[in-house]
Amino acid sequence: MTTATTPECFVQLSDPHIVAKGRLLMGQVDTAAFLARAVAHVRALPTPPSHVLITGDLVERGGLDEYAHLRELLAPLPCPVLLMPGNHDAVPHLRQAFADHGYLSSTAHEPALSGFALYAASLGSRRLLALDTVVPGKPHGSLCAARLGWLRVQLEAAPDTPTVVAMHHPPFTTGIRHMDGMGLREGADELEALMALHPQVERILCGHLHRPITRRFGGTVAMTAPSTAHQITLGLAPDSPPSFIFEPPGYYVHTVQDGQLVTHLQPVGDFGEAQLFR
């Protein structure tokens, strides 16, 4: 008789855009309330995650008061939290506010990489390589030669370990033109070629788009996560104006099944009790 074991899993949240206490994003989005609901939802998962990864745009303006607010909102999570910067973040303030998250400063003393929050970490049986794609002060992203070189060294160091690469800006266009205009402007081709050389990479996990989007990339699967708050409107027409919509927020649950990484999109909301099939 075999004994059932709890499946291994980790959660990916993205783009919470937390502002200072008492404020609303753009005067109308209560991003703190949205994140609090997402945290409560994660806490109630029947399979507890080993980690929560947050793929950027943690706060709106990179202020210390915003990061202090973020800390409070994330405090109820019962597992380690791994943070990454997005284009709305400020790495110096992020490192200061989360000084106990030493991984954020793992490259702080390397001259070519000191301004970037790059790190390797464990996600259970998977290895996480977190890429900082931020161009300070700009909405678009970049992977310069120094950051790609760091990734290459990390991948070559563990060629047999199943690996997840995480980055805020997705390395592909989506058809949502105003978001593609602030996408990854440098390094996507080089990244794709590097991925093709490293079949241990199971996923490239991204944020930025505020939508669940998936594409094959460099022999692996690249995907963007929904926001815990507002979503970007699915405007695929060339003249679609930039807009957002209050579609259900959500997050990803990445679980290991039969040795492979399987990804589930989990909406956040009140959808009633689960009903048994009869």
* Partners of 223 in the β-ladder: 205, 214
Q: Each residue of 168-190: pLDDT tens digit?
A: 999 999 999 999 999 999 999 99
Give this prediction's pTM: 0.96
**Which pLDDT score is estimated for 249?**
98
Q: Which two tokens stand for residue 28?
A: 């109308």
**Which pLDDT score is estimated for 121?**
97
Burial of 105 (0-12, 13-18, 19+ CB in 10 A): middle
- Token match 């937390």: residue? 18
Residue 103 is classified by DSSP as: G
**Which pLDDT score is estimated for 260?**
95
**Which pLDDT score is estimated for 6?**
80
Residue 24 is classified by DSSP as: -
**Which pLDDT score is estimated for 7?**
86
* Partners of 261 in the β-ladder: 256
Scanning the chain, the segments in alpha helix (DSSP H) are 31-43, 64-74, 91-97, 145-157, 177-180, 188-196
C-alpha to C-alpha distance for 10 and 14, rounded to whole angstroms: 13
**Which pLDDT score is estimated for 1?**
47
**Which pLDDT score is estimated for 158?**
97
**Which pLDDT score is estimated for 4?**
62
- Token match 């003249």: residue? 239
Per run of 10 residues, the mean pLDDT along the chain (length 278 residues) is 74 98 96 98 95 98 98 97 98 98 96 97 96 97 98 98 98 97 97 98 98 98 98 96 97 96 96 91
- Report helix, strand or coil for 96: helix
**Which pLDDT score is estimated for 119?**
98
**Which pLDDT score is estimated for 3?**
52
Residue 104 is classified by DSSP as: G
**Which pLDDT score is estimated for 129?**
98
